[in-house]
């Protein structure tokens, strides 16, 4: 299984297959044990959906929204959508030195990066340690020297957001928290960048409060924005 094929063919959606079905199949082939990890999290923490957690004596995941109890196939973006978004950026002949994923979960983005931008550095930030550990285990098993995922709450006061050519961002928390990170993205960069986004809160902020991010592309799951410098 050659996920480093520069065409990204492994991540293209086969005819007759649903995106999430295809992504789950690839996860398994790549060596992820996502359902095992999510089951352990479900046993320890109360589910995020109040209607599903009624009567549970467990505590919620502390301090932040971790989407405990969300179906793993919904928690993550399908590989084919990541491929579509990054292929668009590559077609612009944009120099990509690094990619940062904020709320990376199991870090699928890194595998697509390996195909399209093998020389670029990937850093994912994930607030749930068991997810971060599983992602890094899989990266290590594939000897992905240009990719790493860190256990990090990006809202901590001492967190320093790195500069990046491309950012992935999702509804990782409340709108005010997403807004804070979007401000940081603008603040730390002194070159033009791409932002790849998903989630109602994030897209609403980009439409109404952060209009310096110009929408340039949309897939079924992801929206691509360009921020000129």
Domains in the chain, CATH or no CATH each: 1-229 (3.40.50.150)
Distance CA 71, CA 21 (A): 12
In this model, does residue 32 exceed pLDDT 90? yes
118 near 147, Cβ under 8 Å?
no
Q: Residue 54's pLDDT band (boundaries 50, 70, 90)?
A: very low
Model confidence at 186: pLDDT above 90: yes
3-state secondary structure of 215: strand
Query: Above 50 in pLDDT, residue 50?
Result: no
């Amino acid at each position: 299984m050659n996920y480093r094929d520069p065409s990204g063919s492994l991540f293209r959606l086969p005819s007759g297959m649903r995106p999430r079905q295809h992504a789950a199949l690839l996860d398994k082939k790549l060596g992820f044990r996502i359902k095992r990890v999510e089951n352990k999290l479900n046993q320890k923490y109360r589910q995020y959906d109040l209607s599903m957690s009624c009567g549970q004596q467990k505590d919620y995941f502390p301090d932040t929204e971790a989407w405990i109890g969300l179906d793993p196939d919904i928690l993550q973006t399908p590989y084919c959508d990541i491929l579509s978004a990054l292929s668009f950026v590559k077609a612009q002949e944009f120099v990509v030195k690094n990619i940062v994923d904020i709320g990376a979960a199991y870090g699928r983005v890194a595998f697509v990066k390996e195909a399209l931008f093998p020389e670029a550095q990937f850093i994912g930030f994930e607030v749930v340690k068991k997810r971060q550990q599983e992602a890094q285990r899989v990266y290590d098993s594939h000897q992905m020297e240009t990719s790493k995922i860190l256990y990090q709450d990006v809202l901590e006061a001492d967190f320093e957001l790195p500069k990046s050519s491309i950012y992935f961002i999702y509804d990782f928390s409340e709108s005010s928290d997403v807004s804070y990170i979007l401000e940081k993205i603008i603040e730390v960069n002194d070159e033009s960048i791409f932002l790849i986004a998903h989630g109602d809160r994030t897209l609403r902020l980009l439409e109404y409060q952060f209009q310096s991010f110009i929408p340039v592309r949309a897939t079924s799951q992801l929206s691509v924005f360009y921020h000129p410098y």
